[in-house]
Copies of this chain bind each other. A is one copy, B any other.
Amino acid sequence: MTVRQSLLAILGQGPCYGYQLRAEFDRRTGSTWPLNVGQIYNTLDRLERDGLIAKSETDAQGHVYYEITDAGSLEVAAWLAAPVDRGTAARDELAIKLSVAATLPGVDVAEVIGTQRAVSLAHREALSEAAAAVHVDGPESLARALVVDAMLVHAEAELRWLDRTEDRLRRYPAHAMALELATERPKRGRPAKEVTAVG
């Protein structure tokens, strides 16, 4: 939803053509997540399909402009008014990976954590330097600063969590953590109409 909503919000500022939108998204997010141009046109098609934007005109240079509709403006307003829902959504890839890994027998979770920490540390260092390097002298560098900050605080959080997790698992040895596959309870579920050996 992020790209879609962002492009729509930018179009809320005024008509744009596809290629232009890429540049707009880019500088407004600190050039952090490069967008494949194709995705812009896909997204525009879908936004148009949903009645949130409409083709306006093609200018003297041949640029195909889109403009936001009333429904689109409402959508943007709703987006800005509603907080981002952490909790319901937001699956943490690393948390899932480590908790699944920890419940698997024969997996050296400490090692998994170790390699993860190495790259997470490097990542945090890189972000620290990037944060220090940004000197805010305009909207674009400010946007960059915000985004780098966000990544930095999350990288720090991740490292804290890795430490905490390592601690927890040290106190709770691996062999005691592994989960067996739940034993099947008999006489349940679908009946044995056909007992077939497949494969």
Of the candidates B93, B153, B188, which one forms a contact with A160 in the assembled complex, judged by CB atoms under 8 Å apart? Answer: B153
What's the nearest-Cβ distance from chain B to residue A129, in Å?
A: 13
Of the candidates B6, B54, B56, B116, which one forms a contact with A96 in the assembled complex, judged by CB atoms under 8 Å apart? Answer: B6
Chain A residues 146-190 with CB under 8 Å of chain B are 146-147, 149-151, 153-158, 160-161, 164-165, 168, 172, 176-179, 181-182, 184, 186-190
Known contacts A29-B99, A191-B62, A193-B62; is-contact A161 B153 (Cβ 8 Å): yes
Of the candidates B13, B96, B142, B172, which one forms a contact with A102 in the assembled complex, judged by CB atoms under 8 Å apart? Answer: B142
Of the candidates B57, B146, B154, which one forms a contact with A168 in the assembled complex, judged by CB atoms under 8 Å apart? Answer: B146
Jot down 28 A-B pairs with beta carbons below 8 A, ordered by A: A1-B93, A13-B104, A14-B181, A19-B189, A20-B181, A23-B182, A25-B100, A28-B99, A29-B95, A29-B100, A56-B199, A57-B197, A61-B188, A61-B189, A62-B190, A62-B193, A63-B190, A80-B112, A82-B115, A83-B119, A84-B116, A86-B120, A92-B151, A98-B146, A103-B143, A146-B168, A149-B168, A150-B165
